[in-house]
A = this chain, B = another copy of it.
Amino acid sequence: IHESQSCFPNSVSSLSVDAQSLQKQIDELSTFSDTPAPSVTRILYSENDVLARRYIKNLMGLSGLSVREDAVGNIYGRWDGYEPELTPVATGSHIDAIPYSGKYDGVVGVLGAIEAINVLRRSGFKPKRSLEVILFTSEEPTRFGISCLGSRLLAGSEALEKALKTTVDGQNISFFDAARSAGYANDQEDLSGVFLKEGSYSAFVELHIEQGPILEEEGISIGIVTAIAAPASIKVDFEGNGGHAGAVLMPNRNDAGLAAAELALAVEKHVLESGSIDTVGTVGILELHPGAINSIPSKSHLEIDTRDIDEKRRNTVIERIHQSAIIISKNRGVGLSEFKIINQDPPALSDKSIIQAMEAASRELDLSHKLMISRAYHDSLFMARISPMGMIFIPCYKGYSHKPEEHASIENIANGVKVLAVTLAKLSLN
C-alpha cells in the first residue's frame, strides 16, 4: 500500500490550506514591531516579542496543541499521537526579526507549521508519533550577539549555558534580567532544564523562505535542503588615542575608525580570494566611539559574519581576517583590543530519509522541486545535533530577506505548508 494512502484516505491533492487566514496571521504578527510598517523589528524579550509570543501560543491553543515553554522561552505545541511513547516528530522556526527587516523570515515556518497541523486535522489524519510545533527563542543574534540562542541551548550547548550567566545586551541589561522581564528564567539561573537529549525527536523539519533568488529565478516551487552552510561570527575592537579632529595633525593620529574601515575591506578581499562562489563575508556592524564629527575615533567595533558550505575554507578566511587585523593594528599604531570568534559552527547535513520524505511529498503534490543548500543558517543547524533534520524552502521575491521588501506569495507559502503537512504525516507514521 502506498505510504500517502495510508495517511490520507483521499488523495493529497484534496488537502486544503486556509490561505486567507494564514495571510491574515502573517500580517497581524508583523504589527508587533518596534519600527513602522512595512519594516519589522522584533527584539528578544521586548514588549513586542512578548505580545507576538502570546499571539502564537493562542493560535497553538486554537489548533488543539498543548503548549509548554522552557526557561529561555522556546515554546512547544504538542499534538499527541496514538502511540505517544514513540519519539515525536517536530517542526518549527522563529519569529524574532532583526531591525528593519521583513515579515516572512522565520514566521512562515511557525505560522506555516501551525497551519500544517490544521491541514492534517481537517484531512482526518491521526498522527502515530506525536507532532510538535516549536517556536525557537532568538534565532537572530540582535540583542545578545548570539545566533540561534534557543535551539543552540536546547541542543545541549553547555558553553552557551555558561556564557549566558555573564551575557549582557548593548544597554548592559543581563540576559537573565531580560528573560525575567518577559516571564522566563524564573528558577534563578539554572538552564539545564532547557537541554534536550539526542534522540528526543525522530525527525525535525523546518519550513522557511529561501532568502536567495534561485527558486524564483528557476520557477521552482519547493527547495529541498541537503545541507546548511557553516556560519562563523567574529567581534573586533580597535583602540587609538582619539583627539580633536582639527588639532591633531595627520602623522600624529592612530585612528581606530580607519583601522575598522580597512578591516571591513579586508574581509571582502579575503572572501573573494577563496575563489568559491559559496564563500561569503559581511561586516554588518561597524561602530565608532565617541561618534562625533569633530572627534577622531578612539575606539571602533566591528562584527563580522562569514559562511561557507566548506568548513575548512571558511576557517582559512577567518585566519586571514585575523592576520589582516594584526597587520592593520601594527601599521596604524592602533591597539587590537579584541579579536573574538563568537561562534564557528560546523555545517549540517540533512537526513536522507527526511530528504526522501520531502521529495515524495512534493511529487505527490505535483510541485516542482529541487535539491539545494541553505546559505543562511537556521535553527535546523542546531536541531541537527540532536535529531535527524530536513528543511523545506519556498521562493521569495528576488531573494530579498532581512529588509522590508522581503516577500513570499501566499500561493508559494501554501505549497510549502502542504509539503510540510505531508512530510510530517509520513514521518509521524514512520
Contacts and interface: CB of A to CB of B under 8 A. Distances in A.
B401 A247 contact: yes
A261 interface: yes
A346 interface: no
B272 A264 contact: no
Contact of A376 (B244, B279, B285, B304): B244
A286 B261 contact: yes
Nearest to A105: B244
A147 B293 CA distance: 10
Interface in A380-406: 399-403
A46 to B, nearest CB: 15
A375 interface: yes
Interface string A290-305: 1111111110000111
Given A100-B289, A211-B247, A290-B101, A257 B283 contact: yes
A286 B285 contact: no
A294 B246 contact: no
Number of copies: 2
Given A246-B374, A284-B294, 10 more contacts: A98-B292, A233-B293, A242-B402, A244-B402, A261-B261, A262-B265, A282-B294, A283-B288, A290-B402, A295-B403
B231 A246 contact: yes
Interface in A238-261: 241-252, 255, 257-258, 260-261
A205 interface: no
Nearest to A228: B246
10 contacts: A147-B294, A211-B246, A244-B401, A247-B399, A250-B279, A255-B282, A261-B286, A284-B291, A285-B288, A290-B403
A285 B292 contact: yes
A47 interface: no
Most buried by B among A211, A280, A290, A298: A290
Most buried by B among A212, A243, A252: A243
Interface stretch (A21-29, A137-145, A190-198, A421-429): A137-145
Nearest to A272: B250
A142 B245 CA distance: 13
Contacts of A295: 98, 101, 282, 284, 402-403
Interface string A227-241: 001010100000001
A243 B402 contact: yes
A326 to B, nearest CB: 18
Given A101-B295, A246-B376, A291-B99, A284 B257 contact: yes
A210 interface: yes
Given A294-B402, A305-B293, A403-B242, A247 B284 contact: no
